[in-house]
Each structure stands twice: as structure tokens, then as C-alpha cells.
Amino acid sequence: MRHHLLLRVITKLLVGPILIFALYVQFHGEYSPGGGFQAGAIFAVAFILFGIVFGLDKVQEVFPPWLVHKLSAVGVLLYAGTGVYSLMLNSTYLNYSSFSPSNPISGQHWGIILVELGVGITVASVMVAIYYAFAARPPVINDEEW
């Protein structure tokens, strides 16, 4: 891997801005194009790029598989929990207005943020889990047979 010095330096320079852009897309999704799904995909791309360049072992040190699996469940629970919370407030499922009866606009704002955060966490962790599953498979053909 020593001969890929330029690729490794460029990757280290790109991972941070990719993650920051993913956070921007996540938290400005209701005001501009974007949201949880797009942010989750961009967030996952940073880890997948890091894994492609530095190897599966290095990326799993940064983002361990046990954390990937836990976050995929946390994202789904956050999404579903937002809907269950609105049910507990005697409203319909995912009716964000019930979060703040005195100011329904504020309740809708917080509900959308929570749901989109759940979607973003789920998409990012599932995409990274899929990458881990494919990257961990032993190759069918040796490098010499190519």
C-alpha cells in the first residue's frame, strides 16, 4: 500500500469535508434538497472510501462492525419511536403537531428532524454494513489469475 501515497493523502483530505457535507444535508433537509436518506448515503461514502483506500481492517478500527449494527437498530427505533410517541399523545402515527400543541409548527419541525435523523442513521449504517459484508468475502479468483 506504500505506492498509493497520493491516493491515501487525498482520501484523508476528503473524508472530513464529506462528513461535514453529510451533516449539512442532514440538518438542512427540510429547507433545501436533501434529508436523511441523502445524508446517510453521503455519510456512508466517507467510510466506504476510507475502507477502499486503507483496507477493511483500518475502517473497522474507526467504525467497528458492532457499532454499525447497533446504529442500524437505533435509527429504526428513532424513526418508529417518533411515531409511537405521537400515538402516546393521543394523535395519529407520525403526527408531529401533537408534540407541541401550543405551537404545532414547532412540533412539526422537531418531528421532522427526529424522523430524518433516524432515516440518516439507518441508511448510513446499513450501507456500511453492506460494504463490510462484501469486502470481508474471500476472493473467488486469486490476484495472480487475473
**Which residues neighbour 69 within 8 Å (Cβ) at sequence distance 6 or greater?**
125, 129
CA atoms within 13 A on the CB side of 94: 9
- The pair phi, psi for residue 103, each rounded to 5°, is -140, 85
**Which residues neighbour 12 within 8 Å (Cβ) at sequence distance 6 or greater?**
none
Cβ proximity of 78 and 32 under 8 Å: no
CA-to-CA distance for 43 and 37, rounded, in angstroms?
10
Per-domain boundaries in the chain: 2-138
Which helix (H) or strand (E) segment is 20 a member of? helix 5-27
State pLDDT tens for residues 86-115: 999 888 888 888 888 888 888 888 888 899
State pLDDT tens for residues 4-57: 889 999 999 999 999 999 999 998 877 777 789 999 999 999 999 999 999 999
